[in-house]
Amino acid sequence: MRPVGVVNNKGLWSDKDCTALDFFFCQTDTQDTLQNKFQHIKQSMNWHDAQIYCRTHYVDLAAITDDTENMHIANILFVNGYFDNWFGLHKNPWIPWLWSDNSSVLLSSVKWESGQPNVNGIKDCVKASTEGLMADDSCSTPLPFYCREHRRIQRVRFTVKSDGDLDESAVMEAIEKKMKQILSDQDMEITSSIKWSVQPDGKIFQQQKTQENTQETPCEELGPMKR
């Protein structure tokens, strides 16, 4: 067993036995807000199963890279009445602490609890608390967890016909309303967002003139002449 980490409801980290069962945090591929970046999974799993779950449904177990992210996760634990949950911190023998994707951990960002990590051969995972501090713990301890999610982008191009000046805001509002309805029908509205691509001139839509058909009609297609 290797040391892994949990974060508690005070934002403190600790190591833990990776066979323990707990909730966990997954990391998504959405970076616009902290609420979208992390997913709190309220299913008890050991650290390794939590890692598989996050990699299957999102991106990976959560990697906490600054105090803002740390306190955001700690607050979630505190509000929901949980003490500590799995996240992506782990360690192999003779190798520094790493995140679940094997990226390096910035030591200055680690918020260890007092006396942590106290790796003794059976605490192979790391948890984090609401105080933003960490401690090692058994990977078998049941804890909630956070996942990291892959972000999927679908680009859509629209063609709008207008006989006069185009009111972009009105057109955008109508299109967004229709798109949200489509996403809602597919149960995707909550996990999806719509963003417009702005042109170099600052506008959303580009004006294109319609070419008139000036081709002469062949004689054989004309009807009989009237006398």
Domain range summary for the chain, segments of one domain joined by +: 4-148, 155-192
Predicted confidence at residue 132, as pLDDT, reads 65
User: How many residues are given for the chain?
Assistant: 227
Q: Which pLDDT does position 45 carry in this prediction? A: 94
| pLDDT for position 137 | 73
Q: Which has the higher per-residue pLDDT, 105 or 46?
A: 46
Element (H, E) at 185: helix 168-185
Does the 4-148 domain belong in CATH 3.10.100.10?
yes
The pLDDT assigned to 123 comes to 54
Kindly report the average pLDDT of the chain as a whole number.
76
Lowest mean pLDDT among 121-125, 133-137, 161-165: 121-125
Average pLDDT over residues 80-106: 81
Residues 35-53 have a mean pLDDT of 93
End-to-end CA distance of the chain: 101
Please say if the pLDDT value at position 47 is more than 70.
yes
113-117, 200-204, 213-217: which range is least confident on average? 213-217
| DSSP-derived 3-state class of residue 67 | helix
Band (pLDDT 50/70/90 cuts) for residue 14 is: confident
What's the predicted TM-score (pTM) here? 0.50
